[in-house]
Structure 1
């Protein structure tokens, strides 16, 4: 008897041949990326008799929560979406899907799909899975409830007409580690609301340790952030730090399953166990210990997210971590970082802690010098910016474009072939404390400043595809067929954006001067005391 069936759509069960950042391929529009190309780039996680051998981390957390809160192992299964029918029968009470971007309303998707006018692969694959589940339910006359949770569950609640059309019974929004079993039992008994909003946060001791391996060896090192950016839900949550011992337990679960990697997940790894809550100066010793513990089990250690301000605040910390994990010309450390905007005005208005321990006025300098510190130590930052922040001006957008050009020029002059970064502009999506604002519409709200921001970001990305992709994919056999396709695809995107801008009356060749900021940080300084920041 399988009482609870957990799964997700197949854009989240693809490894995408382990190509860096190709996990975002699901955000691409079906209308523009042919199905045959998607199939070539798709490579699904293996299953054992329909059960996922590794699974997205969020699924593993809910699985662990149910098992530690009274459900039996034989009652809960994490099923591959392509074989979910093997586990649904008359005894099934809940089929629950963990989703990131089920209706294509996320920032990446809204950018790639022309403001949602085109369908993307995440929404298509999600709807295909839901339709498959509903067909089983209707044909067999089963009574189970269809539930959607995960970071993208808000989209189902936001588009209630889609919820009804897709016959989704319940939507769960929030962190459910500590109440998962209670919620599932209330759904089984028929007492649960259609939209279940979890208003409490689990304490660290209530967050369960995964019992089965996670995709890419992902392990969580902290929840929340503490920087409090107004547009970001995770950053508004209270920061909680996972104890080293629990992190090691999860790394061992993955290593024992043959996953020779530890991917340390957080909103900002440099804030792990931060003690300086006012200035957010990194607790370097704790962050370094985190990486040292992980390298006891594998040399393939990467963070997911970090802040450029945290790196710049303590260059010695970055240098030490790089030595610890063996970073070098043949082993770069990838990290996703929020650039957002170059405008000090917008930084102060919407994210006035993001640049700490520095000031909003210093943000362009922080971006340039922080990237220098990262590149100098073989870190490859993948930046994201935001198009359409409320109350932004043309000057703000032009300044962001100028900073991209400045970083490109100054870093190459200083570091040569070691200068690497990408910038991916995302559409503003009303989340966090800005829920009452409107979505950025790429077609209706484009201005010349926004166009230049978009165009120069993609132009730089094309350069990185040529220079950086072979470096970060060294040893991956899929590079041989993928590299020519990536070069062609990036070039066509840049050409398309250029022609589109000209058609709208914008000048892609408008003369732009670099910003008046220079690389002047001493990358070897080690600041163990926040007061020493003044030396900058």
Structure 2
């Protein structure tokens, strides 16, 4: 008898054919002409083992484990399912449907930026979340259960939507491993529960090991950051390192359940095991890497790290080399015939003034004034050691003036002049719930000056030039012609509606033509 059904939008349940980079597509527009089966065929490959999913988002796996470990629920009381199977699984025994969300209304950095930039419809993330809501509201007419939503994206729901209209009974805002079992138990026993429940910081000894495999083999090695970047939520949280034995156990669970890859989830690999602020602990990182790579003998093929700080990489070149030497054989990607390690890094701005005002901790142990040079030297160092990072840039930070924008544009141009292959992702400023700047207004493209618009154009010209040849080499002559025709139609219709969209699209198209 299943009492608790856990799920998430299909865009978060997918492994995108094993490519985490393609997951960014879920933040792009879903054109109304594109049917959903196209998404399921090309993006959401089957992830089922019966009605249970083989792989689930790490956050859902943590909640599943916390419910079982609490002793309140048995293992067969809880199931994690694909949203497409809700109507087959939910019945009169179901008391709670728990939905994990990262970006339910498409208000995250990538979704808001690129659904607006493309102008072809709402982001896929929002489309898939609203699809779950539609299914759940239909089921509520047949069965009595409560809907509980949790995850890093819940701020979008209580700040920008009507919980009653969505059929949401309870929102858990914050870390959920400790509070969720109690909330679910009260719901089942018909005891009163607050509409919005705040989850406190969870001590590492209360973070349970997962019971089933996670999407991409995601394994948490640290939580929070503490660098204090005002635009970001995790950096404002107290940093905690997950004990090595728990990390190893989570990897074992993934391997035992069919995963052959590991995604090491952290806000900055260089903070793992550090006791002195901003001082990386080389021994702890070396021991971590050693314990992860030993799973090669049990079928592990790929290892990837989620985030890395550029200043720390430059400061501890020895750790960069150690990780490069040990992880090369586990590289997830290849580029132009060579294996590469990839990682996300935060460039954010080329303006020392913006760095000093909003993210001083990002530059430590160096100064904000040194930041542009740190970025160039660190990206160069990483490429010399076989890494090609994905670098984010935030455009339109509160108070960013034209001089700040020029400095960011200059940094982008210098990245190109240095021949660096960093994949640059410019993003509009979004006041994420829980960050220091949460009360600032969302920035729109209409508010950007010409230099800020140029940052977007130059970043994507750079990406198209560096990565276009590799991407389009397998396109047939007919496919390239069709792409060219579609691009021209877009330029003549959607792109021309706004000056900024026309400017960005035109510049990218010029580079695209040279590639196809």
TM bin, normalised by shorter chain, reads: 0.7 to 0.9
Task: Mark the CA change 1:389 to 1:32 in structure 2 (over 3 Å): closer, same or farther.
Answer: farther
* Contact 2:5-2:96 at 8 Å conserved across structures: yes
- Cα drift, residue 169 of structure 1: 1.0
Residue equivalent to 2:321: 319
- Cα drift, residue 14 of structure 1: 2.0
CA distance in 2 between counterparts of 1:485 and 1:354 reads: 42
Matched, 1:126 2:129: yes
> Could you give the per-residue CA deviations for residues 112-146 of structure 1, whole angstroms, max 9, x where no partner exists?
122898411111111111111111221x2x21001
After superposition, where does 1:93-132 map in structure 2 within 5 Å? 93-114=95-116, 118-132=121-135
Task: Mark the CA change 1:487 to 1:505 in structure 2 (over 3 Å): closer, same or farther.
Answer: closer
- Residue aligned with 1:363, SS: helix
More moved, 427-436 vs 281-290: 281-290
* Contact 1:115-1:441 at 8 Å conserved across structures: no
Residue equivalent to 2:77: 75
CA distance in 1 between counterparts of 2:173 and 2:48 reads: 28
After superposition, where does 1:151-162 map in structure 2 within 5 Å? 151-161=152-162
CA distance in 2 between counterparts of 1:122 and 1:264 reads: 23
> Could you give the per-residue CA deviations for residues 159-209 of structure 1, whole angstroms, max 9, x where no partner exists?
232x222111111110011222112122332411111122x2111101000
- Cα drift, residue 499 of structure 1: 6.3
> Could you give the per-residue CA deviations for residues 426-475 of structure 1, whole angstroms, max 9, x where no partner exists?
12111301111000112x2121011011100111121233255589xxxx
Match of residue 138, structure 2, among 135, 138, 151:
135
- Cα drift, residue 394 of structure 1: 1.0
More moved, 90-99 vs 329-338: 329-338
- Residue aligned with 1:348, SS: helix
Matched, 1:15 2:15: yes
Matched, 1:366 2:374: yes
Task: Mark the CA change 1:407 to 1:134 in structure 2 (over 3 Å): closer, same or farther.
Answer: same
- Residue aligned with 2:130, SS: helix
Matched, 1:41 2:42: yes
* Contact 2:231-2:358 at 8 Å conserved across structures: yes
> Could you give the per-residue CA deviations for residues 88-129 of structure 1, whole angstroms, max 9, x where no partner exists?
111211001001111111111110122898411111111111
Residue equivalent to 1:338: 346
CA distance in 2 between counterparts of 1:485 and 1:288 reads: 46
Matched, 1:380 2:382: no
Task: Mark the CA change 1:7 to 1:306 in structure 2 (over 3 Å): closer, same or farther.
Answer: same
CA distance in 1 between counterparts of 2:117 and 2:441 reads: 12
Residue equivalent to 1:434: 437
Residue equivalent to 1:534: none
> TM-score under structure 2 normalisation?
0.88
Match of residue 282, structure 2, among 262, 284, 290:
284
* Contact 1:98-1:149 at 8 Å conserved across structures: yes
CA distance in 2 between counterparts of 1:384 and 1:239 reads: 22
Task: Mark the CA change 1:396 to 1:211 in structure 2 (over 3 Å): closer, same or farther.
Answer: same
Task: Mark the CA change 1:355 to 1:2 in structure 2 (over 3 Å): closer, same or farther.
Answer: same
CA distance in 2 between counterparts of 1:247 and 1:434 reads: 33
Match of residue 350, structure 1, among 348, 354, 358:
358
* Contact 1:225-1:234 at 8 Å conserved across structures: yes
Task: Mark the CA change 1:341 to 1:314 in structure 2 (over 3 Å): closer, same or farther.
Answer: same
CA distance in 1 between counterparts of 2:171 and 2:310 reads: 35
Matched, 1:208 2:211: no
* Contact 1:261-1:300 at 8 Å conserved across structures: yes
* Contact 1:397-1:450 at 8 Å conserved across structures: yes
- Residue aligned with 2:389, SS: strand
* Contact 1:281-1:356 at 8 Å conserved across structures: no
* Contact 1:104-1:123 at 8 Å conserved across structures: yes
Residue equivalent to 2:467: 465
More moved, 31-40 vs 327-336: 31-40
> TM-score under structure 1 normalisation?
0.85
CA distance in 1 between counterparts of 2:392 and 2:33 reads: 22
Q: Please give the root-mean-square deviation of Cα atoms over the aligned residues, in Å.
A: 2.9
- Residue aligned with 2:391, SS: strand
Residue equivalent to 1:526: none
Residue equivalent to 1:453: 455
CA distance in 1 between counterparts of 2:499 and 2:160 reads: 35
Structure 2 unaligned regions, length at least 5: 332-336, 508-516
CA distance in 1 between counterparts of 2:500 and 2:360 reads: 37
More moved, 118-127 vs 221-230: 118-127
Match of residue 416, structure 2, among 408, 420, 423:
408
> Could you give the per-residue CA deviations for residues 297-319 of structure 1, whole angstroms, max 9, x where no partner exists?
03521101111111111112111
> Could you give the per-residue CA deviations for residues 272-301 of structure 1, whole angstroms, max 9, x where no partner exists?
111221xx0211221122112110003521
Residue equivalent to 2:274: 274
Task: Mark the CA change 1:45 to 1:378 in structure 2 (over 3 Å): closer, same or farther.
Answer: farther
Task: Mark the CA change 1:153 to 1:505 in structure 2 (over 3 Å): closer, same or farther.
Answer: closer
Residue equivalent to 1:66: 67
* Contact 2:103-2:153 at 8 Å conserved across structures: yes
- Cα drift, residue 59 of structure 1: 0.7
> Could you give the per-residue CA deviations for residues 2-53 of structure 1, whole angstroms, max 9, x where no partner exists?
1000001111122222345110111111237834764553132421221101
CA distance in 2 between counterparts of 1:509 and 1:26 reads: 24
Residue equivalent to 1:191: 192
* Contact 1:281-1:313 at 8 Å conserved across structures: no
* Contact 2:10-2:44 at 8 Å conserved across structures: no
CA distance in 2 between counterparts of 1:505 and 1:115 reads: 10
> Could you give the per-residue CA deviations for residues 374-410 of structure 1, whole angstroms, max 9, x where no partner exists?
1111111101111210000111112111111101111
